[in-house]
């Protein structure tokens, strides 16, 4: 079925023409798709009623329904559990950052690009799921629409930034990721305010560079040496640090955008002064900004956040580079990076196809959880 958010103009016009409606109605439909108060064709008041009904049968208004919403950070963050047409679920996070000093207000949506993830980083709740499937471009864009509507409901927004940092590796789903980026730009978002975060898929970085879109590239580094990165980001065995950094530098040269290094700070694993010094040297060489994200504690992982003293020592080791320490938005509501979905799955059985069903008794056939919570 055609998805409204990513349908090409010709396809929309064909459907409209088949119902005797003029082509200019396509523009009307596109505008309506981004109105936060409108959630179905039936609510597009400026369309004839018969046309609304006909379109609802042929075009999917949205590929996302919100199956759960969880607030955090005194009402400035909302985690949505987005249900896709086949029943699979992903997480989408909407974060409001009030204006501070010279920086203006930001409303950022963090989208998922895949259901689960094949990369399998051991500190990540999503990595523990494995890959179930990739999201379509419409499913990525519709997460933004659904989260934008949630922000409006809470008196926040409009959306200023979109980051591809939710579940999945966007550059292992590069065609859908690129189509969704193009769609968001057509909808009026600045490409400079879109950030694709990758664990280092070199061919994907190169593909992104060919699009002509000046989106920001973030590389999830997490380790400054191959031996440690092989453990933290298993994809490093296919694309070692040197190749990833070279691809990042080429991207920056081609697109004229600043590079960002992401570093999930894990207590006793990658928080040494030695790693900090090596990261500092890499960041200086690449003129990269560094985002440090203290790890959220996740069920089943022996790892956790660093001690305050280790975090201070690590940050001191990054002198001379631009560093932001990102707050782990959503940690308080069990919903940072794969955890909202993981928490719900503990209560409801995750089927092999990524859909949720009633929780089976522990030990029952097909149950993936030894003990429900
Ligand atoms: S951190 Fe990112 S790349 Fe690694 S497993 Fe999690 S979602 Fe995948």
Which residue(s) pair with 133 in the sheet? 115
Residues 150/143, Cβ–Cβ less than 8 Å: no
CB burial string 127-149: b at 16+ within 10 A, e below: bbbebbbbbbbbbbbbbbbbbbb
As a whole number, the mean pLDDT across the chain is 87
Quick check: CB of 266 below 6 Å from ligand 1?
A: no
CB-count exposure of residue 192 (10 Å: 0-12, 13-18, 19+): middle
Quick check: CB of 166 below 6 Å from ligand 1?
A: no
Ligand 1 atom with minimal separation from the 120 CA: 5
Tokens (6 digits) for 296: 């959220």
Q: Which string of DSSP letters, residue by residue, matches 327-372?
A: --TTGGGT-STTHHHHHHHHHSEEPTTSBEEPPPPTTSTT---SS-
Active site residue 91: yes
Tokens (6 digits) for 185: 């730009």
Q: pLDDT tens-digit profile of 26-82?
A: 999 999 999 999 999 999 999 999 999 999 999 999 999 999 999 888 889 999 999
Average pLDDT over residues 237-259: 94
Strand ranges of the sheet holding 89-97, from the earlier edge strand across to the other edge = 65-72, 77-83, 89-97, 106-110, 161-164, 194-198, 216-220, 259-265, 289-294, 323-325
DSSP state of 37: T
pLDDT value at 351 more than 60: no
Q: Whose CA is nearest to atom 7 of ligand 1?
A: 168
Q: Which string of DSSP letters, residue by residue, matches 155-194?
A: T-----EEEE-SSS-GGGSHHHHHHHHHHHHHTT--GGGE
Residue 76 C-alpha to ligand 1 middle, in angstroms?
25
Average pLDDT over residues 229-256: 95
Residue 24 C-alpha to ligand 1 middle, in angstroms?
42
- Strands 356-357, 349-350: parallel, antiparallel or unpaired by DSSP? antiparallel
Q: Smallest Cα–Cα separation from 278: which of 290, 268, 267, 266?
A: 290
Active site residue 349: no
Q: Which string of DSSP letters, residue by residue, matches 112-127?
A: --EEE-SS--TT-TTG
pLDDT value at 365 more than 60: no
Is the four-CA dihedral 355, 358, 364, 367 of positive or negative sign?
positive
Residue 287 C-alpha to ligand 1 middle, in angstroms?
24
Is the four-CA dihedral 110, 114, 117, 118 of positive or negative sign?
negative
Q: pLDDT tens-digit profile of 102-140?
A: 788 999 999 999 999 999 998 888 888 899 999 999 999
Residues 115/84, Cβ–Cβ less than 8 Å: yes
Question: Residues 110, 117, 124, 337: which is the catalytic one?
Answer: 337
| Cis bond upstream, residue 239 (ω within 30) | no
Quick check: CB of 121 below 6 Å from ligand 1?
A: yes
Q: pLDDT tens-digit profile of 187-216?
A: 999 999 999 999 999 999 999 999 999 999
Please state, in angstroms and rounded to a whole number, the distance separating the CA atoms of residues 112 and 74.
Answer: 23
Helix residue ranges per DSSP H, the chain: 9-18, 25-33, 49-58, 137-153, 174-186, 202-209, 226-232, 241-255, 273-286, 308-316, 339-347
Residue 38 C-alpha to ligand 1 middle, in angstroms?
33
Percent share of the chain, pLDDT over 90: 75
Please state, in angstroms and rounded to a whole number, the distance separating the CA atoms of residues 9 and 58.
Answer: 15
Q: Smallest Cα–Cα separation from 301: which of 127, 56, 89?
A: 127
Largest CA distance in the chain: 69
pLDDT of residue 328: 58
CB proximity list for 6: less than 8 A, separation 6 or greater: 136, 137, 138, 141, 179, 180, 183
Please state, in angstroms and rounded to a whole number, the distance separating the CA atoms of residues 161 and 228.
Answer: 32
Quick check: CB of 169 below 6 Å from ligand 1?
A: yes
Quick check: CB of 199 below 6 Å from ligand 1?
A: yes
DSSP state of 84: P
Residue 235 C-alpha to ligand 1 middle, in angstroms?
10
Please state, in angstroms and rounded to a whole number, the distance separating the CA atoms of residues 9 and 23.
Answer: 9
Compute, in degrees rounded to 10, the torsion defined by CA atoms 229, 115, 345, 331. Answer: 50
Q: Whose CA is nearest to atom 5 of ligand 1?
A: 127
Quick check: CB of 111 below 6 Å from ligand 1?
A: no
Quick check: CB of 127 below 6 Å from ligand 1?
A: yes
Percent share of the chain, pLDDT over 70: 87
Residues 90/166, Cβ–Cβ less than 8 Å: yes
């Amino acid at each position: 079925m055609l998805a409204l958010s990513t349908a090409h103009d010709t396809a929309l016009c064909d459907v409209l023409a088949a119902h005797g409606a003029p082509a200019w109605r396509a523009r009307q439909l596109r505008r309506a798709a981004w109105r936060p108060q409108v959630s179905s064709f039936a609510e597009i008041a400026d369309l004839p009623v018969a046309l609304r009904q006909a379109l609802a049968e042929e075009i999917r208004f949205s590929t996302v329904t919100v199956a759960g919403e969880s607030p955090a950070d005194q009402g400035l963050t909302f985690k949505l559990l987005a249900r896709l047409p086949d029943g699979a679920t992903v997480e989408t996070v909407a974060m409001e950052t009030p204006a501070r000093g010279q920086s203006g207000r930001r409303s950022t949506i963090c989208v998922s690009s895949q259901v689960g993830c094949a990369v399998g980083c051991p500190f990540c709740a999503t990595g523990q799921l494995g890959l179930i499937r990739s999201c379509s471009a419409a499913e990525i864009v519709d997460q933004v629409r659904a989260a934008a509507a949630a922000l409006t409901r809470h008196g926040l927004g409009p959306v200023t930034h979109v980051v591809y940092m939710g579940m999945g590796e966007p550059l292992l789903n590069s065609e859908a990721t690129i189509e969704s980026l193009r769609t968001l730009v057509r909808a009026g978002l600045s490409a400079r305010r879109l950030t694709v975060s990758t664990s280092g898929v070199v061919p994907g970085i190169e593909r992104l560079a060919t699009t002509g879109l000046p989106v920001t590239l973030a590389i999830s580094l997490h380790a400054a040496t191959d031996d440690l990165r092989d453990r933290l980001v298993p994809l490093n065995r296919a694309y070692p640090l040197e190749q990833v950094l070279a691809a990042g530098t080429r991207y920056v040269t081609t697109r004229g955008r600043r590079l960002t290094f992401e570093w999930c700070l894990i207590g006793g694993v990658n928080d040494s002064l030695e790693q900090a010094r090596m990261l500092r040297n890499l960041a200086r060489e690449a003129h990269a900004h560094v985002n440090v994200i203290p790890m959220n504690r996740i069920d089943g992982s022996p790892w956790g956040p660093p001690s305050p003293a280790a975090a201070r020592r690590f940050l001191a080791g990054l002198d001379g580079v631009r560093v932001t320490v990102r707050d782990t938005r959503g940690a308080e509501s069990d919903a940072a990076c794969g955890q909202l979905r993981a928490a719900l799955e503990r209560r409801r059985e995750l089927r092999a196809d990524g859909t949720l069903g009633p929780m089976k008794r522990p030990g029952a056939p097909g149950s993936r959880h030894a003990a429900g919570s």
